[in-house]
Amino acid sequence: MKGNSSSAKQLTDRDQYKAPSKPSIKKVPPKRKKRRKSQAFQEAVTGYFFLAPALILLGVFLLYPMGAAFYYSFTDFYILKPDDISFIGVENFSYIWQDAQFRQAFWNTVYFSVIVVPVQLAVALGLALLINKKLKFRVLFRTAFFSPVVMSLVVVSILWTFMYNPNEGLINQLLGIIGISPQPFLTSPDQAMNSIIVMSVWQGAGFQMMIFLAGLQNIPNHLYEAADIDGASNWQKFLHVTLPGLKNIALFIFITISIAAFKLLVQPMIMTQGGPLGSTNSLVYHIYETGFNYRDVGYASAMAVVFTLIVLTITIIQRMLIREERG
């Protein structure tokens, strides 16, 4: 989500950069050139003036910190000793490959993403198709499916922690009614990540559902009518009209979910603290813990840099795939 909105921002920024210089010099009669020039300069100043708030915020809260993280990743910055920072070369980076926790967190994150992305995409599409039908209570359904999105992820995580509780949790009590023994949803290393995945899909799918819904409503009705005339079945209509119509939206959702999935943090932080036995530790949570709890900002920065590279690589690969599909 975040990656996408910032890239959108860059686009508009670039447009605005051009804007002030647009009044072209061609039309200007040679005699008045000088005056025009100063006017153009003034316009440019005005332009930058309008840009300033955004640029300053971007610089202070995005560009500068990114640069600083890059710098600190080569140092032994320890939070308690901010005045005693020394350059240690690539030591932090070489430790990443020995850090068993990092490896575990990496594979956990990959596992989470690989499952969540397709499942959430499918669930969102399914829900969108469902509420696009003229069902009774459709507004009710739409609200119900969308409401988890409105709730803060922190709140949702706490609620699900209660629901997953083996002894008193709602889910286990329901399972008890149909004779299934209480499941250690969050306390078993084998189940914890899957439990988080289920909750995450439930929480996130509503948002993508709305986007799919908008996409569905954009598909011109005459295409379906034409398909009807050709005698297409519902399944054929879905396959040959609906899906192609949603392609661009699906790709957009695919990229945003992937990036969001890689940033998994809140759920393990609140529901399991990365446990049991590190089975739900995510990359971002590991970075957070290292930097803030263990105060090792240098190493945390190094991991953050590597993390950024990983996400960047994935995004680039995805973009390349998209471009091919368009061509």
Partner 1 sequence: MKRLSYLLAGILVTLMLAACSSDSNANSEAESESSGENTTSDTVETGSVDTSVEATGDEEVMLDFWIHQTGEDETNAYIELIDAFNKEHEDIHVNAEVIIDDGASAYSDSINAALVAGNLPDVMAVDGPYVSSFADAGVIQPIDDYVDEETKSQYVDSIIQQGTYNDKLYSLGAMEASVMLYYNKDLLDEAGIEPADSIEEAWTWDELMENSKKLTKEDRYGLNLFMNYGVGEWLTFMGAPLAWSNGGALISEDGTKVDGYLNSPETIEALNYVKELFAEGVVTDSPGEMQFEEGNAALALGGPWIAVSAEDAGLNWGMMPYPYKDEKVSPSGSMAYAVTNNTENPEAAVELMKWMTNEESTIKISKATGMPPAQKSAFENMEKFNELPWSVMKEQVLETAHARPATPAYPVLTDAFAQSFHAAALGEDVESVVEQQVQRVERELKRFEE
Q: Which residues bind partner 1 (CB under 8 A)?
A: 2, 60-62, 64-66, 68-69, 72, 76-82, 95, 100-101, 153-154, 157-158, 161, 165-168, 184, 186-187, 189, 263, 265-266, 269-271, 273, 275-278, 284, 287-288, 291-297, 300-301, 304, 307-308
Rounded Cα distance, 106 and 119, in Å: 20
Query: Which lies closer to partner 1 via its Cβ, residue 15 or residue 83?
Result: 83
Q: How far is the CB of 5 from partner 1 (least distance, A)?
A: 12
Least Å distance, CB 287 to partner 1, is 6
Of residues 145 and 288, the one with the C-beta less far from partner 1: 288
Residue 317 Cβ, how far from partner 1 at the closest point, in Å? 21
Closest distance of CB 294 from partner 1, Å? 5
Phi then psi dihedrals of residue 184, to 5 deg:
-80, 70
In the chain, which ranges are continuous DSSP H helix?
2-18, 33-58, 64-72, 91-96, 100-132, 138-150, 153-164, 170-177, 192-218, 221-229, 234-237, 243-262, 266-267, 283-288, 297-326
Residue closer to partner 1, measured from CB, 132 or 301: 301
Q: Which is nearer to partner 1, 132 or 172 (CB)?
A: 172
Q: Do you find a cis peptide bond into 276, omega within 30 degrees of 0?
A: yes
Closest approach of partner 1 to the CB of residue 33, in Å: 43
Length of the chain: 327
User: Is 40 or 110 the residue whose CB approaches partner 1 more closely?
Assistant: 110
Distances (CA, A) of 55 to 13, 22, 58, 180: 9, 21, 5, 58
8-state DSSP, 270:
I
Q: Shortest Cβ distance from residue 150 to partner 1 (Å)?
A: 17
Closest CA to 207 of 179, 249, 160, 171: 249
CA angle centred on 272, ends 266 and 276, rounded to 5°: 140
Q: How far is the CB of 164 from partner 1 (least distance, A)?
A: 9
Residue placing its CB nearer to partner 1 in the complex, 139 or 151: 151
Instruction: Identify whether the C-beta of residue 239 lies closer than 8 Å to the C-beta of residue 227.
Output: no
Name which of 69 and 197 has its Cβ closer to partner 1.
69
Nearest to 315 by CA among 253, 250, 249, 258: 258
Of 54 and 214, nearer to partner 1 (C-beta) is 54
CA distance 122 to 216: 14
Minimum CB–partner distance for residue 276 and partner 1 (Å): 6
How far apart, in Å, are the Cα atoms of 237 and each of 35, 209, 326?
A: 63, 20, 22
